[in-house]
A and B are shown apart, each in its own frame.
Chain A
Amino acid sequence: MMELKKLTMTEASALLAAKKISSVELCRAYLDRIAAVEPKVSALLSLDTESVLAQAAESDARRAAGKTLGPWDGIPVTIKDNIAVKGQPCTCASKILKGFVSPYDATVISKLKAAGMVLTGRANMDEFAMGSSCENSAYQKTRNPWNTDCVPGGSSGGSAAAVAAGETVIALGSDTGGSIRQPASFCGIVGLKPTYGRVSRYGLVAFASSLDQIGPMSKSVTDSAVMLDLIAGQDERDTTSLPAPIPEGGFAAALKDFQPSLKGMKVGLPKEYFEVEGVTPGVKKVTADAIETLKSLGAEMVDISLPHTRYSMACYYIIAPAEASANLARFDGIRYGYRSPNANDILSTYQDSRGEGFGPEVIRRIMLGTYVLSSGYYDAYYVRAQKVRTLIRRDFTEAFEKCDVIFTPVTPATAFKFGEKSDPMQMYLSDVFTTALNLAGNCGISVPAGLDPDTHMPGGIQLIAPSLAEDRLFKAARAFEMTRSAKELVAPL
């Protein structure tokens, strides 16, 4: 019998094709696993088992009739609760969207359905994707499958925990400032933030529209490439999606029969990232080992500089809340979502519904965003931050003249304990390595590198590539994954 915690899309596909297992059997095995571990992990906000089994039965019927929709037909995928699936709840882990049922599919969901994938549970997250620990969910605490005293990271913590705990084969998350890469690192899985515009945002509940991007969270680098092949592409419903076709044959095809060698690849080490204070000795050790692994693969390490690194968090915490305050204005208690029982005129409908419906972190960000956009402060904060964003982008452009990919840690420390970061500012700073590339629009991947010798929790490395150069990420990440000293990183749960 297969090991659900390790089973990848590629392996599941082979089992299904060889008729060693049916989709119903596969999905049933995962439903059993969910029933067994969810009481400890709490990764899912909702799960419609009947729908899962019905989708699986349809997949099996297609296969029996010789009408399979391709290699991924019948494989379960878990979706973050801010991506719309028609007929399923979409709460963004917020009380303001309690009971909301999506009337349509996000473009990425239409694509997964066209590939025959089975849509399973809705993954927990920080409310409206604002947070780094899932502690901002209005509904439940998701626990890290490596140590249930620890957070799974965030905001896509439910997706990460579900994959790591073997509750699903693969998941989708979203990343605005690290929300895919940080939880992937905390849970010991792979997480990809595609280039801004690579994947349609239609049907993704907007947090910060110029930064948000949907991406895969998977057990292997190849699976992330497979998933990107499935979900990428320009979409007439998202004017910011790029007219950039994926490479001939797809990203995943390049990883078949792959020889792990990085000869000729220049890997940049940005000195500012290695000067950040508060990086733990364990993370430093994992990072240093990873650099040795990359060298052993033939990569040439190059010292580079991203001089405005120190300003990226400040820039992010102006731009993201500003955009959020505008995006979240749509939650007004009128057409959908929560309406306060105290609503008795237009103003109280807005103010009370929003005040009661949003949680503390969302309110903080809306307030901050409103503040930096308000009269008298707009130029001093918002426009200045946009100019600094230009400088940050320029840093990356210049750095990529000297190297093919950039190597950094993902987080300053491995997964922290619940309640450990009670001050918002302290929580924000845990994203210090991940936000700059959202501002620049580059792509980045978080790859498990090994266990932190002190905390015994997984630590990851981040690779960053220029816009639309995901192929470089996959190549470097796959070579690293095949060569890293920690062969298997499987959560003990």
Chain B
Amino acid sequence: MAASSKGIDVAHIAALARLEIPPEAAGKLSREMESIVGYVEMLSELDVSGIEPTAHAVPRSNVIREDAVRDSFPREAMLANAPATVDQELVKVPQVLAEEGMA
């Protein structure tokens, strides 16, 4: 499908972005996105053939350090912000796989 500002599938994009969008908000969001995408389409006026893309404004190279053992963060400090834990030792999450699907 060619790029077009029309008909952005909000439900599809929301699923890709792992965002729950209430149906009553989808219409407005779709209109706003189409307006912004309509604006950014002005870039298609430019001839960019032969132009290298810029991902970063500064030259980048690998930065390597010695593979040495260092102190890390204590577990309790990292778990302090978790929404739920098991005995302050593990991150507690809802069941990942559905019951009947479990081996």
Residues of A within 8 A of B (CB): 99-101, 103-104, 196-197, 210-211, 236, 239-240, 242, 308, 310-311, 313-315, 317-318, 325, 329, 332-339, 343-352, 354-356, 358, 363-364, 366-368, 370-371, 374, 376-377, 380-381, 383-391, 393, 423-425, 428, 438-441, 467
Min CB–CB distance A374 → chain B (angstroms): 6
Q: How far is the CA of A368 from the CA of B83 in the complex (A)?
A: 28
Min CB–CB distance A231 → chain B (angstroms): 17
Residues of A within 8 A of B62 (CB): 239
Min CB–CB distance B63 → chain A (angstroms): 4
Which chain B residues (40-65) contact chain A, with CB distance < 8 Å? 40-44, 46, 48, 51-58, 60, 62-63, 65
Across the two chains, which residue of chain B brings its CB closest to A349?
B94
Q: How far is the CA of A374 from the CA of B93 in the complex (A)?
A: 29
Residue from B2, B40, B62, B95 whose CB has the most chain A CB atoms within 10 Å: B40
From A100, A314, A347, A428, contact of B81 by CB (8 A): A100
**What 8 A-B pairs are tightest by C-beta distance, nearest first?**
A441-B57, A355-B20, A386-B53, A380-B3, A339-B83, A336-B81, A387-B48, A350-B18
A346-B96, A364-B29 known; A391+B18 contact, CB < 8 A: no
- Say whether chain A's binding surface is mostly helix, strand, loop, or mixed: helix
Min CB–CB distance B21 → chain A (angstroms): 6
Q: How far is the CA of A438 from the CA of B58 in the complex (A)?
A: 11
List 15 extra interface pairs beyond A317-B39, A335-B78, CB under 8 A. A103-B81, A239-B60, A329-B18, A332-B18, A334-B91, A345-B95, A345-B96, A346-B97, A354-B19, A355-B21, A366-B17, A367-B14, A384-B48, A388-B48, A428-B36
From B1, B39, B84, contact of A425 by CB (8 A): B39
Q: Is the CB of A356 within 8 A of B20?
A: yes
Residues of B within 8 A of A377 (CB): 3
Residues of B within 8 A of A358 (CB): 19
Residues of A within 8 A of B43 (CB): 311, 314-315, 318, 381, 384-385, 388
Q: Is the CB of A390 within 8 A of B51?
A: yes
Min CB–CB distance B44 → chain A (angstroms): 7
Min CB–CB distance B101 → chain A (angstroms): 11
From A197, A236, A318, A425, contact of B58 by CB (8 A): A197
Across the two chains, which residue of chain A brings its CB closest to B91?
A335
Q: Tell me if B98 is interfacial: C-beta within 8 Å of chain A.
A: yes
Q: How far is the CA of A380 from the CA of B46 in the complex (A)?
A: 12
Q: Is the CB of B46 within 8 A of A388?
A: yes
Which chain B residues (71-97) contact chain A, with CB distance < 8 Å? 73, 77-78, 80-84, 91, 93-97
Across the two chains, which residue of chain B brings its CB closest to A347?
B18
Q: How far is the CA of A370 from the CA of B13 in the complex (A)?
A: 7
Between-chain CB contacts (< 8 Å), 9 pairs: A103-B81, A104-B73, A336-B82, A339-B83, A367-B10, A367-B14, A380-B2, A388-B48, A390-B51
Q: How far is the CA of A101 from the CA of B42 in the complex (A)?
A: 42
Q: How far is the CA of A31 from the CA of B59 in the complex (A)?
A: 44
Min CB–CB distance A71 → chain B (angstroms): 31
Residues of B within 8 A of A (CB): 1-3, 8, 10, 13-14, 16-22, 29, 32-33, 35-37, 39-44, 46, 48, 51-58, 60, 62-63, 65, 73, 77-78, 80-84, 91, 93-98
Q: Is the CB of A240 within 8 A of B58?
A: yes
Q: Is the CB of A363 within 8 A of B58?
A: no
Residues of A within 8 A of B46 (CB): 308, 311, 388, 391
Min CB–CB distance B1 → chain A (angstroms): 5
Q: Is the CB of B19 within 8 A of A335?
A: no
Residues of A within 8 A of B57 (CB): 196, 210-211, 393, 438-441, 467
Residues of B within 8 A of A236 (CB): 63, 65
Min CB–CB distance A443 → chain B (angstroms): 11
Residue from A242, A329, A346, A467 whose CB has the most chain B CB atoms within 10 Å: A346
Q: Is the CB of A240 within 8 A of B33?
A: no
Q: How far is the CA of A395 from the CA of B43 in the complex (A)?
A: 16
Q: How far is the CA of A37 from the CA of B31 in the complex (A)?
A: 40
Residues of A within 8 A of B44 (CB): 380, 384
Residues of B within 8 A of A388 (CB): 43, 46, 48
From B22, B42, B52, contact of A387 by CB (8 A): B52
Q: Is the CB of B54 within 8 A of A335?
A: no
Q: Is the CB of A352 within 8 A of B83?
A: no
Q: How far is the CA of A390 from the CA of B16 in the complex (A)?
A: 29
Q: How far is the CA of A441 from the CA of B78 in the complex (A)?
A: 34
From B29, B40, B82, contact of A367 by CB (8 A): B29
